[in-house]
Chain A
C-alpha cells in the first residue's frame, strides 16, 4: 500500500489537503480531500444579538465576506418579518453583483484561467498570472487590475470597506447613495460589462478555437452526472441575490423548487471522521457515499450548477453567451467540471450587466432605505448565491432577538462531496500501476480548482499560484518519489 499526499502548502492553517491511497497493483484506490480547519461559528454566535450577525459572519471568509454579509442580512429580514423598501433592495443587489463580478473575474485571471489561457501543457513556471500577462499583453493585464479596483470601490461606497462590509440591517441598509456616487457606479458598470465581454472573447479565441482544450473540457476524466442546485427568479433565470432554490436531476429535469425557509425539507449534512468539513446531500434522495448518478443525493452548486439549474440568464448579453455555451457543449445539462470556468465568465457578464441596470435606476438614490421592524423575532432564513454556490444562514432567537440557534450551510460544503469525487476520478484515471506521471499534479489540481473551493479561497485572489507537492511513499513508508510544481 502506498499513500500520496498532496498538500497545497497551506497545510498548517488548513485550506485542504489531499491524500491518495494506492492499492497493491499501484492503482488509485481512494482519494480524500481533508479540511483540517474549524472555527465553530454555529456555536459561538449563540447569545449574540441577531442584528450583529452581518458584521460577525463576514469573518467566516475574508475573500467572500459580502456573501455572508448578504445572506445574514436577508436572514434578519426574515427573522423580523420586515420587507426592505425598493431602494434598499436595489442597493443590496447592486452591491452583491459588484462583488460577484469582481470575484469571478479575479478567479478566472489569477487562479483558474492560467490553465487555459497559458495552457494545461505549458511549463509550470508559466502557468500563473505572469504567464497570463505574457499571453494577453500588458494592456489587458492592466484592465484586470483596473476592473478589480473599480468594483471594490463600489463595495467601499456602499459597505464601508470591501473586506468586511458593514451596511446590512433588518429591513434595509444603513447608508443612502448620493447622485455623485451613482454616476461613479454607472461608469464602473459600463467598464465591467466591456471587460466581461473582453474576457469571454479571450476564452473564445484561446480555448474554444483549440480542439485539444475542447476535448479536455468534454472528456470523461472531468465529468460527473450529479444533481444541481441554484437560486432562480420568477422566470427561472439565474439570480444571485434572491429567488427560489431550484434543483434539477442529472437528466436536467426539475427535481425540486422551494423557498429558502423550507431548506430543512431538502438538505442534509453527512459527517466523516477524517475531516472537519461536512458533506451536503439531498435529503429526499439520501446519502449513498461519494458516488454520482440519479440514486445518489450528491449535488453540485456554483457557476455551472446555476446555469444547469436555470432556464437562462436575465440580461441580454449573458443570455447569448449562455445559449452559445450549451450549443457548443451539446445541450443541457453540462456535466463537465471544467465548464465551470466558462460558466463563471458568463456569470461575470450577467453580474456586470445587472450592476449597470441597477445603477441606471434613479430610485437607487432614494432616502427611503430602511423599514423598521415591528414584529417579535423568532426564526429567520437567508439565502444567496455566493460565488461558490448556494449559501444559507438560519437563525433562531428569543423574543428580544438574541440568538439561540445558528445553522450555516456554506457554499463549498455543498460541493465538497463532488470535489472529493472529482479528485478521486482524476487520480484513478491518471495513476496506473504505480506510475505517477508529472502531469498528475496539474491535472488533479485542475479537478478541484474548477470549483474555486473556498477552503483554498484565501489563495484564489492572489497573484501567484498554489504550489503543490506530491510525495509518493512505498509500502514501508519510504519516500520514493517527489514531484514539485512551483
Chain B
C-alpha cells in the first residue's frame, strides 16, 4: 500500500511549531517512515507547481500552522485545501489567531506608522514605507500585500481538525498522527485534545478551595508567587477555568499563571467572554453585599488590560474579531 501523503505548511508564525515537530526527537523518524512527506518548506524542496500538479485530495493530510495575514498565505492555503483530504490547523495561531492576532487591535497603517516612522531609532525624513511594487534604479521589486486584519485558518478555508497550543506538545502531536494513520478520528471540527478545562488537570487543583473570592487583583510582580497555591486564590489572573487542558501544565509548573494558548473547551464559543465572566463571578464574592460602587469599580480596575489578557491568543477567533477603527 502506498504511504499516505502528508504536507506541513506555515503562514504568519514564528517557527516554534516547526521546533515542536523536531522536539518529537526519535518519534520524528517513525513519522517520517510511515508517511510520504510531499511538502515541508523548511526541510524539503518544493515548488508551488508541484503541489498544483497533484490531483485534488491526493494529499491525505495537511498540517498548517500560523495565522493568515498576507495575500500569498491565503493563496497557498486555498491550494492546499483543494489538494488535501484533511486539513489540520496546527498550533494557536492557525487555531485562534495567536499572538500575531493581537495585531487586530490596530490596522496596517497604524502598524506601518509605528514601525517605520515613529520608533525612536528610525531615521526616515522622507517617510519611506515598504511598497508592494517598487522600481529601484536597476529594476522592479515586489512584496506581498499586508492585510489590515489577521485571520485564523478556519476563517480562510474549511478546517477539519485543530491541534491547539503554543506550541502543541509532542504527545498530542503523536496522538493526532496515530489517529490519522489508523483512521480513528473523532467527528469533524474537533480539537484534538482532552475535553477538560485546565483547572481540572491543574496540579494545584487538590488544594484549591471550594469557593474562591478575590478581594484584590494582584499582578504577577506584586506578590511572591506561591508555588503550590491556586493562582486565582492568590488574586492572580489565570485563564485556567476558560482554557482547555492538554498542555501538560508547563507554565503552571514553572510557577506562572495560564494565558490561554489552548483556547476554550468545546462548549465555549468565546474564550475571552468566558474568562471575563469567570472573573466577574469570583471578584469580591465574599464582600459583595457590603461593597460600595466605588469599591467595586476599584476592584474591577485591577484588571488592567481585559481585552489583551482574556483574548491573548484568541482575538481573531472571537466574536469581537478585531477592534473597529474609524
Q: Which residues of A contact B (CB under 8 A)?
A: 1, 3, 9-14, 19, 21, 23, 29-30, 32, 34, 36-40, 42-45, 47-49, 51-52, 55-56, 59-63, 65, 76, 80, 145, 149, 152, 156, 158-167, 169-171, 174-176, 263-264, 267-276, 278, 280, 283, 287, 370, 372-373, 394, 400-402, 407, 409, 457-459, 461-467, 469, 484, 486
Contact at B116–A271, with CB atoms within 8 Å? yes
Partner of A164, one of B13, B41, B166: B166
Q: Does B20 contact A (CB under 8 A)?
A: yes
| Contact pick for A162, options B23, B130, B224, CB 8 Å | B23
From A3, A161, A270, A275, contact of B139 by CB (8 A): A3
Q: How far is the CA of A263 from the CA of B120 in the complex (A)?
A: 10
Q: Is the CB of B15 within 8 A of A270?
A: no
18 CB contacts below 8 A, A to B, read A9-B41, A13-B12, A19-B139, A34-B143, A36-B72, A40-B111, A49-B304, A55-B259, A65-B16, A152-B23, A160-B251, A163-B20, A163-B23, A276-B130, A276-B146, A283-B123, A458-B10, A467-B46
- A21-B139, A39-B69, A159-B254 known; A12-B14 Cβ under 8 A: no
CA distance A271 to B127 in the complex (A): 9
Q: A45-B102, A162-B19, A163-B19 are in contact. List 15 more A-B contacts (CB 8 A).
A: A1-B138, A12-B48, A13-B13, A29-B138, A48-B308, A56-B312, A59-B14, A59-B16, A59-B99, A62-B15, A62-B19, A272-B128, A273-B129, A407-B119, A409-B121
Does B18 make an interface contact (CB < 8 A)? yes
Contact, CB under 8 Å: B100 / A39: yes
User: Is B184 an interface residue when CB atoms closer than 8 A count as contact?
Assistant: no
Known: A44-B102, A44-B103, A467-B45. A274 touches B15 (CB 8 A): no
Residue in B166, B256, B259 whose Cβ sees the most chain A Cβ within 10 Å: B256
Q: A39-B12, A40-B103 are in contact. Are A62 and B114 (CB under 8 A)?
A: no
Does B292 touch A at the CB level, under 8 Å? no
What residues of chain A lie closer than 8 Å to B136, measured between beta carbons? 30, 32, 274
Chain B residues engaging chain A, CB cutoff 8 angstroms: 10-20, 22-23, 25, 28, 40-48, 66, 69-70, 72-73, 75-76, 98-100, 102-103, 105-106, 110-111, 113-116, 119-124, 128-131, 134, 136-139, 141, 143-144, 146, 166-167, 219-225, 227, 250-251, 253-256, 259, 304-305, 308-309, 312
A44 touches B143 (CB 8 A): no
* Inter-subunit contact B14/A62 (CB<8 Å): yes
Q: Is the interface of B mostly helix, strand, loop or mixed?
A: loop
B73 touches A12 (CB 8 A): yes
Q: Is the CB of A38 within 8 A of B255?
A: no
Decide: A43 and B122 in contact? CB cutoff 8 A. no
Q: Judging by beta carbons under 8 Å apart, are A372 and B143 in contact?
A: no
> Quick check: A372 and B221 within 8 Å, CB to CB?
yes
Query: Which residues of chain A come closer than 8 Å to B73, judged between CB atoms?
Result: 12-13
Q: What's the nearest-Cβ distance from chain A to residue B119, in Å?
A: 5
- Known interface pairs A40-B111, A160-B253; A271-B304 also in contact (CB < 8 Å): no
